[in-house]
Structure 1
Amino acid sequence: MQKMKQETNNTKKFTELFSQLGNDSADDQKQKVEEMKEVINEMDEEEFKSVFTKELLNEMDKMIKERMLLMGNAILLLKRIRYCNVLKNIWIPCFEESSLNKRFKKMIIEEDMKKDGKNEKLLVDLCECYLTLDKCFSYELLLICMLSILKAASDKEETDEVQKEVEMALLELSSLGMWKKIDQELYLNEIKEIIQYHQEHRNLTYLAYQSAWEFLIKRLRLNENLNEVLANELHSGREAARELEELSKCVDWKRKEEKNGRIEAKEVIIIGRWIDIVDNYLTWSALWNEELAGLISSIVQLFRASRDNYREISYRCIVLFKNTATNGVVKIEGLLESGAFDLILEELQQSTMDFITTFNGLLFFIKLTRRLNEEEDEKMEKEKRKELKRKVLERMEEEGYEDIIISFHEVLNFHIYQRFYYGLSLNISDYFVNV
């Protein structure tokens, strides 16, 4: 393995432990892997990327080939790397060309082709590791991995060991990109059963349940008929709101958390994952119900709780509001009644306002303004549009919105020219509702 350019205590410890693996007995080797897993937990992004390299993977493959590293221990290490990669929200490149990835690919195909004596546990482990390393896999391998991992995720046994495996399986399913077209008959009944069983028995961890929803919502982009299932069968709005409220109670929002490379509070990470997938859902959803209005209200409360000490969470919320305003299915009344409208008006008046809030807040109002114009939204009845315009104008006047926009105009003019505010309009009238 290549020498690290600039070793830290964590990278040095990891390198030392890794170099010793080939000299250990099976039990000692497993103990070293457990120590390496703890070191990975402590790494920051730069440290993580410095050890998780193609050279590391090729060296692991060489050690497996020479029987210096047990396959089971290699899998344990890779699964920990994957888990921390997700929780630390670190982007990692595709390791398609690594020799270890090619080994996993070959083993998956061979194991799946077995008619008798198939090792289902090994197949799941191989698939999870393979999805970690390769983002360019074929549709055939996608199906093998998805079906195998989905089967593991369906285990209802409530022991800690099984639930950890279920959590990992669902976490891997959630990583499957939204542009992967998958026939819904291959997964829908199984993932519905996982979600509905949890709704009745509360058997999954917070992260596992969020991951199950993420996998399903990502499929919505290419399977529009999932709208009915999500909204009316599985009650997506109600469930997401409940989960966010429960998780929010577990976080001390008044205390700013120092990361220093450690995995931050798990509840905060899961909240961030929920916001991102709810953002996708509200952007693509083709059905509206009151549960979704309640969900937006929960996001408003989350923004208020997080904006002082957890800005990354509040930033995700404000981006969600902007994206939601674009979807004509999302009722403008819902944005008014949920408090999202008032919240953004309040934020635009803050003297300490930052770029992200300014940019997304102003785009929020541009998008709503366009939707309230008759030629932009022909589906809205004339009288209903008139009443909505009246309500919107009253709120804007109460909060001094016109003065805010006028005060921004010269600044915006300069920044748009400098391309700092790409997407915002130079025409001041675009920020107002025309009666």
Structure 2
Amino acid sequence: MKKKWALLVAASMILSTLLTGCGSGEEVKLPETDGEQTTQSTESEVSTSQMGEETTLVFWSIGLKLKDDSGIKMPEELAANRYIAKFEEDHPGVKVEVIDQPVDGIHDLFKAANVSEEGPDVIGLWSGTATNEYQDYLLALDEYMTEDEMNMYTGINLCKKDFKEDGEIIALPYNVTTYNIFYNKEYFDKAGIVELPTTFEGLLAVCEQLKAADIQPFLIGDSSGESTTWVTSEFMIDQVGTEKIVDFGTQALPFSCEEYKKSLETWCGLFGQDYTNKDFATLSAWDSIQRFVTGEGAMNINGSWAIGEMEPIMGENLGTFKIPAISGDAPYADYIVSQPGANVSVTTYSDNKELAVEFIKYMTSAEFEGEAHLDTGDLPANNQVDVSIITNPISQTAYSWVKENKAGIGYDSVISVEAANELYKLAPTMISGKLTPDELMQKLGSIQ
């Protein structure tokens, strides 16, 4: 959300405190490593070693797992911390100062930092507009990458300026996500459901079968518009395709377009038929996971990030399928929404650009993303990852969708932050029948 210039300048004055790990950001202490050091050094390594000085890369991080809230793994066991420490080991005289920034506060802090150009060398951000709005302050990486490296990442277009095929790369992705419908196999068997639905009409038929078997079809959590956004993003891709979706919310594809109206109206058709839990508009997507895994509802709408929460509890009883197409005759009915969830960039004002670029390549390498998958369950964006490391059957299924290379961007990643926030706020009201799709479209159009 836009802040007044005076607020940005004032906020920039506190950056020196933040960069030391005080205030909102938390400096992460990295473990020492005892692995073998590499014998070759880059020019920057040689210069720092010869001078006896330490070069510091300041890294503001979101999107990496730097601590395990469950307490199962110690910080030094997590891939992110191990690889940061290994980078320092491989680059004598270099220290990476990691500040794990709060998700809710990092944007205001980064805006302020950009005013004074006293921000980090490296920054992790959520992918999409949350990164693209800072494109003037993020280093174009193309000249630092080989052609093979540019083609190494799934969903790289979301990390380019304005999401265009020919746009400059301004970030490298940590991971890639899918939108999923998860289902309880036992309930499907009890209702006699043999074929998984591929269209929304087929999904409604499945709901009828489950309802007839006295099984609640869906457990939905949409208090922040999550399910609405995921499903209607799929419907929009089905109709307009992967290239045109990046224009959504502009004159080329306005919120008032017929495709969006059809998407919203079709989605609203699920409600009011006793197919869902009564509290769908007040329950969060995260809390819906907790109730779904205990047997409430036959289906749940979420994403690949939820697999690690569901599978350990449900085991072989958990299944998944793609969000069905809006209709079988939609031009892109066989496409899905799949995109990076978080990415990492170098700032234009970093004093150590080449070293910083080397660092973000390190932290998005096939080796790192493969090991990070074991910590988080996130699907790797680097397509050079050894896929044998993905052993969870549900993750394997989701990753197979990604490898089909028929995927587009969720529209909330390309519209303005203000419009996206309004969508998240109003979606529960719409599916509750208190706001029409036309009224929602008008409100979004007044913002963009």
TM-score normalized by structure 1? 0.27
Q: Which has the higher strand share?
A: 2
Higher RCO, Cα 8 Å, sep 6+? 2
Q: Which has the higher helix share?
A: 1
TM-score normalized by structure 2? 0.27
